[in-house]
Every structure is written in C-alpha cells, then in structure tokens.
Structure 1
Amino acid sequence: MSADQRHALVALAQARGHSLAALSAMLRRNPAYLQQFVARGTPRVLAERDRRLLADVFGVEDAALGGEPARAIFRVPRLDVAASAGPGAQVDDDVAIGTETLPEALARDLGLRAGQAGVIRVRGSSMEPALRDGDHLVVDQADRSPKARSAIYVIRVDGAVMVKRVARTSAGLVATSDNPVASPVPAGAIEVIGRVVWRMGRPE
C-alpha cells in the first residue's frame, strides 16, 4: 500500500471517529498493528482480509485502501425473522423478504456457500456488548455443530428463535447470554439454526 493509501486509512479513521487501536482490535490484531503500518510501513501491505474488513467498516470501495474494485457480489437472503437477544421470538417459517449483498471475496473468507446463508435482525439487549438491538447478522446455516469453545449461534428453544453464545459440553449444548443482567435462557432442547459469522451493524 502506498503512502497515499496509508494517508487515506488515517483520514477515514479520523472522519468516522475510529482510533487505529480500536480498528486493530476489530481485525483481531494487536493494538499497535495499524499504527505501525501507518508510521513504519510494517507490514508493507495489509492482508486482503484486513483491507476488506476496513473498507466495509468505512463504507468505501476496497480500491480506496489499495484493493481492486469489487467485481463480484454474493447475495444473501434477508429473512423475516428477528433473532431475539431477549426472551425469544415465536416464528413458523423463515421467510425471505429481500436480499443483502456482500463482496464475493468476503463471503469466501467467511466460508459462505450459496443457499446456506441468511441475514437476520437482532432484537433486544441480552447479547450486548457483542451485539446490539437492530444489528443485522449474517448466519452460516451450514455450521450447526457448536464446539467446546463457545461461539455465537442462532438457535431455537421450544419454537423461540434467539441469538446466544453456545458451547458443547459433556452434558450437551449450553446457551448463555453475554449481558450479565439478562434473563436466563429458557430451558429446553436447543436446535441450532446456524453460526453468526458477520455483524453488519445497525441500519441508519
């Protein structure tokens, strides 16, 4: 990435009120990652994944940060379902009400496959601070097997759709909320709908 593109990164971060340390954390890098990149040119070039994630956060084309202009998109159905981060929503069917688009390269990085992903909306506050009311989530419906290390999944419990942190234990699946003041997750068998792989943010 040229000096001009490093300057563009700084300008975009300042314009949107993001610190380089916070953006580094979003990329799951050490807090000095982007500062070192801007000040020292280390690394010399941002990884494609990092560049695309930053472009998505800033709402700009990948080319603004040194990438090629987007040429392909991945379409994901937007479902008429609110995955409750509260007591749970009763639904009968997952009805598509439109589509969202992701850069094909991002969809590839996320491991998404056509026909096995959907976008749903979060309702409630029990998964704060990780998820907020109104966030739109990309859900990989091909991943329905939680591991011992917890991850965020969309699940059904007794017909109620909710988004929770789920882990597999010796006693079976355990679902919990991130917000310590949230009500307990209702008892019942857990049906896994898919793993949350991307938070698209609250629509304006």
Structure 2
Amino acid sequence: MKNCIALVTSIMMVALLGSPLQAQYDGKAKMKKEKTKMMAEKDILDVAASSKMHTTLVAAVKAAGLVETLQQPGPFTVFAPTNAAFEKLPEGTVATLLLEENKEQLQALLTYHVVPGKITADQVVKAIKANDGTATLTTVNGAEIKAISEGNAVYLIDENGNRAQVFKTDLEASNGTIHVIDTVVMP
C-alpha cells in the first residue's frame, strides 16, 4: 500500500510540475512560430534591414538602386554577406563601391549574391549530393556560383575561387529566402 501511495504521489508531482514546464515549452514554440510568420510577411530587404549584422548590405542595396528589385514578388534566394564579411574586403573597397560612379559595379556585385527562385538549404544540399559534390547556381547577374559541402558545412565558391561559408539558412521572407554567408563573393 505504501508503494502505491508513493507511486500515485510521484505521478501527481510529475503531472503538477510537468504542466508548467510543458506550457513554457509550448509558449516558446508558439513565439518562435509567430516570429517566423512575422518575418515571412516581410520582403527580403525588410528582413535584412531588421538584422544588425546586415547594415552594410542594406546600405549597399540602397546605393545600388536595388531596393525596388528586392521588393518585387520574386521569389529570390539571397546569399547575404554580414557586416564582418564586408570588412574582410581590402580597405576602402566598400566606400569606393558606394560612390555613384561605381553604381554598375556595385549592382553586379550584389546581384551575384542573388539566385532566381526560392532555394532552401535542404535543396542546396540535395543538389550538391546529386551532382557529385558541386551544385552550380546561376545568379541574377548571369554569372555562376558553385556550392559544395565539407563535413556539415556548405560553402559558396565564386568565379575567382574565393570561399564563403553559409552559416545561417532559410530566413523566410514574403518574396524568397535568405542564407547568411561570412564572405563577400565576387563575380
């Protein structure tokens, strides 16, 4: 009888203590789902603009006159370099690219980071596996970029052989998706 009482008490304690924990877990999952939904209602530029890691990219998009392009229905896949990625460029490069007389060069650089259509991280990985370890993507500017995987990481290889690691994926937007990269790729 004593064992039955202990068992019933244990079950009641789990039920009483488990409920708040489950409610907390459910609440966090619901908040994450709502945040994802809110982000998906914003276009690609709005999503990038809401990130402190992408202020240089957003400034470059504005200087290049590509705001309206990235607000179109798309869909687009953007490989978005972080501020730190732009800082890796030789000193003065970003300031030079932002000058009005270099607008076409800046447009070419930025559109090299955009692929038509919505391509998820899973689709990139599947394409890499299906094509002997390399997936070739044609960017909006018409040039190609390659995607490879090494271990659990996916890298973009630009036409000059430079590598950018994709480290955050599938940021949803109303007109496509964003994958965050650690290096600016060059056409």
Higher helix share: 2
Pairwise same-fold verdict (TM > 0.5): no
- For normalisation by structure 1, the TM-score amounts to 0.26
Q: Greater relative contact order: 1 or 2 (C-alpha under 8 angstroms, separation 6 or more)?
A: 2
Higher strand share: 1
- Larger gyration radius, structure 1 or structure 2: 2
